[in-house]
Structure 1
Amino acid sequence: MNRNKVVRAELDQLMRESLLDNATHCRLSALYPLGHWDWRSLGRWFLIFGAVAAAAGAVISLRDVFVPSLWHLAVLLALVTGGMFITGWRLRKRSWPWSCRTAELLGGFALIGLSFVLGMIYSTGSGNWPALLLIDLVMLLVLSYALNNILLLTLSAVVFFSWFGGVTGYSSGWNAYWFGMNYPLRFLVASTFIALVGLLHLKAELGPLAAYRSFSKVWISFGLFLTEMALWLLSIFGNFAEIDGPLHEAGAGELAIFNLAWAALNLGLVLAGIRQSYRMLRGYGVTFFIIQAYTLFFTRISEHLGWLASLMIAGGSALGLALWLEKQRRERREDVPS
């Protein structure tokens, strides 16, 4: 991450902590314009992607030449898990932070694989695979904070997504996941709670959780993503309250309530992001506000206009939006003093 981006992130954080007023924040931010391309950030993502891809390739190659028993596979995964965390510890001592976090991330993946192999070895025939993910979730959360690894926390969020959808489908007997319309309202409640935990985490980072200053972004971002996705589905189909009943035909009033709630959320995110200088909130609000507009257009209006007129309107509006955003970006760059 380049120096100006680091400084801008710190200024944004001070703004959210009410240590800078808006005028001072704007004046100081103008002194640190962002560059055209962040090569170091790109390299960090290539490091993570390369490590995960190389590990996946190694596993596939090993499977082609060697078919281990479950016990052999469990021992191998245990060795890989321990080896990755030991490698992370050594890289941490050498002050290679992102290489260290990436090695620990691979250890987290191996840990998930180990839990499932042990689950198959000691299976009682219940088929309760979400329970294994819950165990993984607890261990990964503990490791995330014990090792101060934001990548492991991100993996924990993915595991929670899989576990919550899985346990909902498993306990209901529907054997379907979230995108099978498996109670999106439950995800809305859970995601709201996660986002609130993220806000509390952000406040606690001023005191007892100061060592985990960036972790709140993962909590807040994950909670907002699930909230947005749940409201997206609810705004189209309404709330599926019955699994075994007939297809749920949501009324206009029900869909209007969910659409208004979704629009209010995105408007609130944009205003909060502007007021607190929190670009992530603005990004979520603007992005999903646009998604909502296009969703309403294609589900409620386009069928009355025909496919040709609908595509022309949708494409033209997208092109106009892109040009307007580019104009705004150029004007902001020109306003920054050299």
Structure 2
Amino acid sequence: MRKLDVSRQEKETLDDAIDHWLKLDILDARLAERLRDSYEVKGFDWKRLAQYAFWIALSCVVLAFLSLFADKMVLRWIERLYDTPDTVICIFCMVSAVVFYAWGFRHKRRYPDKTFSNEALMALGVFATAAFIGYLGKIIDKGSGHFSLLFLASVIIYGVLAVKLSSKLIWVFTLVSFGIWFATETAYHSNWGFRFWGMNYPLRFTIFGAIITAFSVFWQHRFKPLKPFRQLSYVIGLTYLMVALWLLSIFGNYSDLDKWSQVRQWHIFYWGLLSVAVSFGLAWYGLKRRDNIAREFGIVFFVLNIYTRFFEYLWDNINRAVFFLLLAASFWYIGRWAERVWGSGTKQKTP
């Protein structure tokens, strides 16, 4: 019988689960032994190697494209093609996108287990789609400057493709394009200023991230085509929310860096307090509801906010030696606490 390859951490989890079921008499000793013999620690993480290899391959494609512009011969060739109509380039990009999507979809149906190669083909289709939308915008541009509509078009195109092709990667680009559209649309309606309805970018994206997160938690599962992307939307929504909230705690609702630099940080302490409170609440919710995503976001940004406040309020107010000693003491305490947690977990696993 072919054994299941698992990581060392996964093996420890499975061993703990089997021991727990043995104590509860859910399993007998014979079945437990058979289950333990059905898996083994893998010698090398080929899955991660495949993932990194495809990432590097895509990066090399981008670098190869950029390196073209450093080659004199290619530059002369590009100069000859400079007069190529935008319509021709637009059609070429559209055809390329269709080819990559069709190739990726076909490859996914034939080899569903080859996740990374399938997503790499989808990524090439996404880049070709972006180029197509950009040149389409140049063709239909009437000088209004309202190019945020192109990002809205990309949101719709990526969203439809993500659902039709069942691609989580394209769904990521959908939500990223949605964020870019939100930023450019609000900037357009504020005459390309930094304020929209009295809000700077961090405050705007705090609300935007909260809406995305709320949609993923309370409403997305009601739409059957979008249900498979619910967790992904949750992660991206929290990323928008927590990063924007952290930036808001630093810059406040200021849109002018000169004015912000003249203000002491304690004048905007309430934004920092809000950021710490949301982070702590998210960590508490994650621990109580066993929501690993909320717990990790909450803990990471809670620590980040605490140390951000530490630098803001103490860097210019105490001696540098004392500052770094306090910093060292805090990290020492965190290390000791983590060591105790790890030690207690190890003792529980020891029979």
TM-score range, shorter chain: 0.7 to 0.9
Cα 1:88–1:336 shift into 2, 3 Å: farther
Q: CA deviation at 1:130?
A: 1.8
User: 1:305 aligns to what SS in structure 2?
Assistant: coil
Q: State which structure, 1 or 2, has the greater radius of gyration over its C-alpha atoms.
A: 2
1:90 to 91, 106, 111: 106
Determine the C-alpha separation between the residues in 1 that align with 2:42 and 2:156: 40
Matched, 1:270 2:283: yes
> Does residue 235 in structure 1 map to residue 249 in structure 2?
yes
Query: Deviations for 1:15-60, whole angstroms, at most 9, x for unmatched residues?
Result: xxxxxxxx99xx99xx999979982552353144124213313423
Tell whether 2:55 aligns with 1:49: yes
Secondary structure at 2:145 match in 1 = coil
- Kindly provide the amino acid, as one letter, of the partner of residue 114 in structure 1: F
In structure 2, the CA distance between the partners of 1:88 and 1:262, relative to structure 1 (3 Å rule), is same
Write the mapping of 1:74-223 to structure 2, written as runs, cut at 5 A: 74-95=90-111, 96-175=114-193, 182-200=200-218, 203-204=221-222, 208=224, 212-213=227-228, 215-223=229-237
Q: 2:195 and 2:164 mapped to 1: Cα distance?
A: 32
| Gap change, CA 1:165 and 1:202, over 3 Å in 2 | closer
Q: Distance in 2 between matches of 1:317 and 1:281?
A: 24
Distance (whole Å) between structure 2 residues aligned to residue 326 and residue 34 of structure 1: 28
* Alpha-carbon distance in 2 for matches of 1:293, 1:177: 28
Deviations 1:206-260 (A, max 9, x none): xx46x844x22221111111211222232233223x77x9669779897343333
Measured in 1, the distance between the counterparts of 2:267 and 2:220 equals 34
Tell me the number of residue pairs that the alignment of Structure 1 and Structure 2 aligns.
314
Q: 1:313 to 1:247 in 2, by over 3 A?
A: closer
Matched, 1:305 2:305: no
Give the TM-score of the pair, scaled to structure 1.
Answer: 0.77
Aligned to 1:285: 298
Q: Residues 332 and 87 from structure 1, CA distance in 2 versus in 1: closer, same or farther, beyond 3 angstroms?
A: farther
Deviates more, 1:322-331 or 1:258-267: 322-331
Amino acid at match of 1:190: F
Q: Identify the residue that residue 226 of structure 1 maps to in structure 2.
A: 240
- The alpha carbon displacement at 1:147 in A equals 1.2
Q: Which runs of 4+ in 1 moved over 6 A?
A: 4-9, 31-38, 248-254
- Give 1:140 deviation, angstroms: 0.6
Contact residue 11 and residue 40 of structure 2 kept, 8 A: no
C-alpha displacement at 1:161, in angstroms? 2.3
- Kept in 2: contact 1:91–1:100 (CA 8 A): yes
Q: Aligned partners of 1:197, 1:227: CA distance in 2, in Å? A: 13
Distance 2:43 2:188 in 1: 45
Task: Kindly indicate whether the alpha-carbon contact (under 8 Å) linking 2:51 and 2:116 is maintained by their aligned counterparts in 1.
Answer: no
Distance 2:295 2:41 in 1: 20
CA displacement, residues 145-191 of structure 1 (integer Å, 9 cap, x when unaligned): 1111111111122212222222222221245599xx83422212221
Residue 139 of structure 1, CA deviation: 0.9
Are the equivalent residues in 1 in contact too, given 2:276–2:306 (CA < 8 A)? no
* CA distance in 1: counterparts of 2:46 and 2:290, whole angstroms: 24
RMSD, matched Cα: 4.0
Shift in CA distance, 310/188, structure 1 to aligned 2, threshold 3 Å: same
Identify which of structures 1 and 2 has the higher relative contact order when contacts are C-alpha pairs closer than 8 Å and 6+ apart. 1
